[in-house]
Amino acid sequence: MISIRRRLIIMLLSLIITIGGVTVFFTYNDAQHEVGELFDAQLAQSARVLDALILHQINKSDITRVDLNDIQNILNHITVLNTPSNNIVNENDNSGITSYERKIAFQIWNDKNELILRSASAPDIPLSNSSLKDKSPGYFDEHINNKRWRVFSLKTEDKKYFMQVGEQYEIRDELATDISKQLIRTSLLSLPILAILIWIAISKGLSPLGRIANEVTKRNKGNFKALDLEDIPLEIEPLTLSIDDLLKRLEEAFEKEQRFTDDAAHELRTPLAALKTQAQVALASNNDDEKERALKKIVQGVDRASHLVNQMLVIARMEKYPITNQSINLNELTSELLEQFKNKIKLKGLSVSFNAQEDVVVQSDITSLTILINNLLDNAIRYSPDKGEINISLSSNNTIVLSIENNAEVIIAEDLERVFDRFYRVPGTNVEGCGLGLSISKKISDCLGIRLSLDNKVDGSGIVAKMVW
Amino acid sequence: MRLLLAEDDDLLGDGLCVGLKQAGYTVDWVKDGIAANNALKHEQFEILVLDLGLPRMSGMEVLKALRASGNMIPVLILTALDRIEQRVAGLDGGADDYLVKPFDLDELCARLRVLQRRTAGRANPILIYKSIKLDPAAHEVTLDGEVIELSHHEFVILHYLLDNIGRVISREKLEEALYGWDGVESNSLEVFIHHLRKKFGASLIKTIRNVGYVIEKDSP
């Protein structure tokens, strides 16, 4: 599993390390540059001091080794005043750090390019050949014996001599490296502290997720109330909203399921209760008429239970058998099925009309379609009042429509929504039935791609069932 | 004992009507919630057997309205819904007992008797008055230990008067208890009272002229 915490920490630390690396690189470069400028200035200063200190002595040619050492010492400790970098070097000196002690070398050449004086640290070849040749003053970078040197050349004030003052780059590099090292050391030390702080910050940031998980986990079965959490951050809100939305849909599904089991319990248990009660009445009765009446009621009850079982079997089979596809003449099928209800129609004194365009043919499954139309006709007749009218119409314009109307009592909207639910019966229905017919019809029509609807007639004079292909 | 049955299923309602009459109840049967509500508002019943899935007005609504009006008649709920929360809701809604379909008729009758007993405030199911013992479950009355044969109507009257001992019961109430909505046969009440007096002695049931009848409290 991905851990946001781990991922964030790795990302943030890598970022910090990268930025730190880049910073060290630039700091090193900057330090080198600044140190260079400072040292260059000191080099120039050294040259001028040298000029002032010793030139007149060269003329007198009475320089001793001791003098040379003293001069060397003075040169080594020259610092440039009044530059910002100067302070740092001074501070370093004050704190007793002597690792940056400088080793300034110098050479003095006459106009015949003969070396007349050099410090002990200076080589006997020119510090800078090129500058010596054309007697050009200024700064030069040179390689002597595989060492890099910084050289400052200068003509003496009396123009008789050419002076070269130099020092090895080593010391500059060392100083710049030390500054950078210091920086790296501080950064590395702060990394673990940073990691801990980031860890704490992330934990704090992720805590709403924990609270949500907790809130959802501790819920009892059947608790679908929206999450009630305070101080939810903006970024987490879409999550809680989605969870709330999911909970709402879950609740709807749960309620639907519960309604189904309630309806099923009612439709399955009531006939059994009736059978048992009637049977017990028959058993307990001393009166023959009463006994016979109860037994007849039992037969009636068994018929009702059989109808229920048949409908349930239809559903079970529907789920099992494949759907075939063949041409079906709807005019013929409807007429044939209507014929089967002849007796019931006569018994209730219904007047039935069938208006149809000729030869309306659909591609469908004959078995399923027969059950569907049969169910709808049966319902129309069953729920029609005595002496009512049933109008069947079949049309085939843009779409094929088979509609069946009767004069049954209108159904309120709330019940209309549920008429296709299994085992649902409109309350107060006193017609025999088990609440499965319409749900079977709906299921078949869904399988066959027919839109089935049941509505009150617009003028409120009855109910219309419509199949639309 | 007058009982109101509220059940929308024809076959079950019919069976219950006959079965409860066999058990000695005077049964009035309504098939929807509004009819039940009206009957309870305007007439006196000793017990109510209530289906929850009633059309027009649900059983729970009938029960709520009943209790809200302060009517403390014992109520037994008869329903196909057996989830615990539904039972709890029924009992919390003011029902005294809850029976799930399909049920046993004998169990229903036994539970109804418990409810009656509880309402009358007696733990002993048998009504005792002097040397008369009336057993509602067995539908049997004894005098000095000997079984006295009583017709259904005589039993109902004696039961009603013993249940309300010391209280004067009006003719109308006794007739309601006897016949429910089935209609009254004139003068028959006097005939049953006469029979009872013949069997248990003339002094048992006193006539309060123009008011009704009473069995007076046993003076020590």
Instruction: Please tell me if residue B9 touches chain A, with a CB cutoff of 8 Å.
Output: yes
**Domains (ranges, CATH) in chain B?**
2-120 (3.40.50.2300), 127-214 (1.10.10.10)
Cβ atoms within 10 A of the Cβ of B185, count? 12
Contacts with A347 (C-beta within 8 Å, 6 or more apart), sequence order: none
Chain B nearest-CA distance from A223, in A, is 13
Inter-chain contact A294–B18, Cβ cutoff 8 Å?
yes
Contacts with B193 (C-beta within 8 Å, 6 or more apart), sequence order: B157, B205, B207, B213
Rounded Cα gap, residues A126 and A104, in angstroms: 14
A414-452 residue pLDDT tens: 888 888 887 777 776 767 777 778 888 888 888 888 898
Chain B nearest-CA distance from A247, in A, is 21
Q: Which of B11, B22, B32 sits opposite A284 (nearest CB)?
A: B22
A241-263 residue pLDDT tens: 888 899 899 888 888 888 788 87
Instruction: Please tell me if residue B55 touches chain A, with a CB cutoff of 8 Å.
Output: yes
B83-130 residue pLDDT tens: 888 888 888 888 999 999 999 999 999 999 999 888 876 656 788 888
Chain B nearest-CA distance from A300, in A, is 8
Per-residue pLDDT of chain B (220 residues; tens, 9 = 90+): 789 999 988 889 999 999 998 888 989 999 889 999 999 988 888 899 999 888 888 899 999 999 888 888 999 999 888 888 888 888 888 899 999 999 999 999 999 999 988 887 665 678 888 888 888 877 889 988 888 888 888 888 898 888 888 888 888 888 888 887 776 666 788 888 888 898 888 888 888 888 889 988 875 4
Q: Which of B9, B55, B104 sits opposite A270 (nearest CB)?
A: B9
What φ, ψ does residue A353 adopt, rounded to 5°? -120, 145
Chain A nearest-CA distance from B156, in A, is 18
**Closest alpha carbon to A403 in A387, A424, A380, A384:** A380
Inter-chain contact A276–B80, Cβ cutoff 8 Å?
no
Confirm whether pTM is higher than 0.90.
no
CB A349 within 8 A of CB A408: no
What's the complex ipTM? 0.70
Rounded Cα gap, residues A248 and A426, in angstroms: 26
Q: Kindly list the residues from chain B whose CB atom is less than 8 angstroms away from the CB atom of residue A270.
A: 9, 12, 80, 101
Instruction: Please tell me if residue B12 touches chain A, with a CB cutoff of 8 Å.
Output: yes
Rounded Cα gap, residues A165 and A133, in angstroms: 16
Inter-chain contact B11–A428, Cβ cutoff 8 Å?
no
Contacts with A285 (C-beta within 8 Å, 6 or more apart), sequence order: A291, A294, B18, B22
Q: Kindly list the residues from chain A whose CB atom is less than 8 angstroms away from the CB atom of residue B11.
A: 271, 274-275, 278, 297, 300-301, 304
